[in-house]
Structure 1
Amino acid sequence: MTLTDDRRTRATSRPARTEAPALESIPAAPVPSPARARLVAEAARDDVFRIVEQLPDGFRVVGYVQVAGPVFVTLLGPVYNTSVEIAQCLDLDLAVARLECATA
């Protein structure tokens, strides 16, 4: 049996969809872009990267990325042994991006 063989219909109580408004009718509001510091990965050990946020007066440790075989494990927290796992990724850039999303 394929999906097209099923002749049942589903009754809906929703009204029919209307056309989306044209882009010209939506007012453009300026969106302020937050001035975010960039996160930088630096090698702490052979299998651990320390992720730091560059600040005007120095840096701040945001988290760590641990290499476990083909997987990069993202850890959130300034101290390695008390940091919390928040993601597992297949490349370092994505692991750092996950950490940046978690600190936003």
Structure 2
Amino acid sequence: MTLTADPRARRTARPARSGTPVSAPPAAPAPAHLGPSLTTVRALDDVYRVLVDGRTVGYIQLAGPVYVCLLGEVYNTSLEVAQCLDLDTAVHRLERARA
């Protein structure tokens, strides 16, 4: 069944392909060292400060159900780099944005 009335649309029923099964590629090895780990400290009720070795590298602001990742040392001039649904993912996205 297609969602278009165009008669040129490809049919969804195809014969099964024969051949050798394809296996998944091997997993890439984890990097040996990712650098210093990030630390979060609650600055306000809805803002977390993200630190590396005591130096501020960004902020995570809670906006309703969304965690907004802000990259920069100063809160009001930091740039939004991601929006996530949990704090752990927000920290990882901020760490990736720093790289």
Q: Name the CA distance, whole Å, in 2 between partners of 1:81 and 1:64.
A: 10
Counterpart position of 1:4: 13
Q: Name the CA distance, whole Å, in 2 between partners of 1:32 and 1:95.
A: 21
User: Match for 2:12: what amino acid?
Assistant: L
Which consecutive unaligned segments of at least 5 residues does structure 2 have?
2-10, 16-21
Q: Could you tell me the percent identity over the aligned residues? A: 52
Counterpart position of 2:32: 33
Q: Name the CA distance, whole Å, in 2 between partners of 1:95 and 1:68.
A: 13
Q: CA deviation at 1:35?
A: 5.6
Correspondence 1:44 to 2:48: no
Counterpart position of 1:102: 97
| Structure 1 length-normalised TM | 0.67
Superposition RMSD on alpha carbons, in Å? Answer: 2.6
Which consecutive unaligned segments of at least 5 residues does structure 1 have?
8-18, 24-30
User: Match for 2:36: what amino acid?
Assistant: A
The runs of at least 4 aligned residues of structure 1 exceeding 3 Å deviation read none
Residue 86 (structure 1) aligned to one of 81, 91, 94: 81
Aligned residues: 80
Give the structure with the higher percent helix: 1
| Structure 2 length-normalised TM | 0.70
SS of equivalent to 2:13:
helix
